[in-house]
Structure 1
Amino acid sequence: MSANFKALRAACRDLPEDPYAPNSGRYRRYARAVFLPWSKDLFWMPATESQVREGVNGYYQGDNNPEHAGVTRNFPAISVGICNNRLLLDIIQFDFAQTYWSEHDAVWPLYVGVHLVKLQVEEDGHEAVSSPNELHQDGEPYVFAHLIYRHNAEGGTNLIATPGYRGKQPEDVPPADRLAEFQMTRPLDTYAVTDDLVSHYVGPIRKGGAPVPGERAILLVDWVPMRHRI
């Protein structure tokens, strides 16, 4: 196991609680970057002065997350050391290589959001859920999810469905509209969605049979073009 992966895993194990979901079993950090498609250069964006003082970065999804519609959420910032982690930087470059951009978007910078998110359950019979806890779209053209680790965790099944099931629960989706169902189980297992073509959902995490917390940690990378819409 590489030193870079060990550092990324350690950062996920030490994530702070999601300030917008206390006692939910959700922990996270966030960072923002600008990516230049023509040179493949990545630049981490600075936070505002007040965000620097508080150690946070702002994340805005418009109305795509009904639990936090129209709200800028200030999440604890990913450390400089992790932002410069070689494996993380290589993953971002890999993700970009899987995307497609029009000739207009390809000559504008891309906004890159990087999330470290952990779901943790400490007691039998409890669950930790993602946000939003429904089939949804993120509002970013491409979203990549990379498993960092899961330990003593049950559940966390991913469901990819057709777009019309946004806002619905998995039981509302008939078999014909279930495009994929799977679990990520191995470190760096990955999936990606083209946001406008699908809706997607990840099920809650439950504690397994071992006498330790159940945990599932994910690296999310989302991509948004920064050009003016005409």
Structure 2
Amino acid sequence: MERFRRLVRRDGFAFAGADEVDPLLDALGGLEDWADFAASWDRLEPDRYLIATGRRRRRRHAVFAWDEAGPRNEGTGLRRLPPQPHFQTTVHNPLQGGIERWFAPMEEVAVGSSFHTLARLGASVFEALDGRASTPWFIEAHQFRIEAAPGQAGEPTPEGMHRDGVDYVLVAMIARHNIERGTTSIHAPDRTTLGSFTLTRPRDIALVDDHRVLHGVTAVTPRDPAAAAHRDVLVLTYRRRPSA
């Protein structure tokens, strides 16, 4: 955990493979429902806003308040809030900013123990960077499935290199099926490349300081043109909430 904090503090981002992440997740709450959690990506709905631009992806969305970090799955402080739209300014999302976007809500099976554990991992890293023992967060959760087909690459970040307009971001790989590429690149505000990596295995993660760096992901293409191809990720964004 401390390595992640040190890297984000120094570089504005960190990448970690599943072999390093899994022991931390086990200590933070475990992944007992991972199979059902990952299977919920098969039931995402089309992003009708992106379809309007001639692009394709599937997604679901939910919002949460985080007040404290408790042991394992007891007293996590993670509270699901009533559905609300996702909004970004045109500064942060020139493709789809400036409008309220309502997405299908995440299923209950998608917000069980595996989800809580991943959310706690992000909170544990980011609250230390915030300089407070316990930071109240507003968390937006986004399930994404990027589909690719012969002659039609999938675009994980159709808005291009960007910031999300939050404080911190955690991206977790859920599954890759029959795809090539999908490399994440991190950039300084002047667009200088600071690093790149590819999330390939379930629970490979990226942690990003959204104030300091921009990020983007290259398009994905099918490895076997005759078979279905997709890239599934969970994106959690963290914004500070005023303390009570």
TM-score (normalizing by structure 1): 0.81
Q: For 1:2-13, what aligned pairs fall within 5 Å after superposition? A: 4-13=33-42
* 1:183 pairs with 2:209: no
2:168 to 126, 142, 150: 142
Detail structure 1 runs of 4+ shifted over 2 Å in the superposition.
Answer: 37-40, 130-133
Aligned pairs for 1:40-189 within 5 A: 40-47=76-83, 57-63=84-90, 64-83=92-111, 85-99=112-126, 100-103=129-132, 109-121=136-148, 123-165=149-191, 177-189=192-204
Determine if contact 1:67/1:131 at 8 Å carries over to the other structure: no
Mark the CA change 1:38 to 1:12 in structure 2 (over 3 Å): closer, same or farther.
closer
Instruction: Name stretches of at least 5 consecutive residues in structure 2 with no aligned partner.
Output: 1-30, 71-75
Q: Alpha carbons of 1:210 and 1:4: their partners in 2 closer, same or farther (altered >3 Å)?
A: farther
Query: Runs of 5+ in structure 1 lacking a partner?
Result: 48-56, 166-176
SS at structure 2 position matched to 1:77: coil
- Once the two structures are superposed, residues 48-101 of structure 1 have per-residue CA deviations (whole angstroms, 9 ceiling, x without a partner) of xxxxxxxxx411122311112221110110012322x11111110111111022
**Is the Cα–Cα contact under 8 Å of residues 36 and 109 in structure 2 kept in the other structure?**
no
Give me the whole-angstrom Cα distance separating, in 1, the residues matched to 2:141 and 2:147.
20
In 2, the alpha carbon distance for the partners of 1:81 and 1:38 equals: 21
Deviation at 1:163, TM superposition (A): 1.6
CA separation in 1, counterparts of 2:46 and 2:144? 10
Q: Secondary structure at the match of 2:130?
A: coil
Stretch moving more, 134-143 or 21-30: 21-30
Q: Please report how far the alpha carbon of residue 203 of structure 1 lies from its aligned counterpart in structure 2 after TM superposition.
A: 0.9
Q: Residue 150 of structure 2 contacts residue 225 of structure 2 at CA under 8 Å; is this kept in 1?
A: no
Partner of 2:211: 196
Contact 1:126 1:207 in 2 (8 A): no
Instruction: Compute the TM-score of the two structures, normalised by the length of structure 2.
Output: 0.77
CA distance in 1, matches of 2:144, 2:108: 17
Determine helix, strand or coil for the equivalent of 1:130: coil
Deviations 1:103-133 (A, max 9, x none): 5x956x3100011001011x31211113443
In structure 2, the partner of 1:24 is: 55
Partner secondary structure for residue 70 of structure 1: coil
Amino acid at match of 2:79: F
Distance 2:32 2:242 in 1: 37
* 1:35 paired residue number: 66
Q: Distance in 2 between matches of 1:210 and 1:4?
A: 32
Residues 121-165 of structure 1: per-residue CA shift (max 9 Å, x gap):
1x3121111344311111111001000000100121111111222
Report Cα offsets for 1:179-224 as digits up to 9, x if no partner. Answer: 1111111111001110111111011111112631111000001100
Q: CA RMSD in A?
A: 2.0
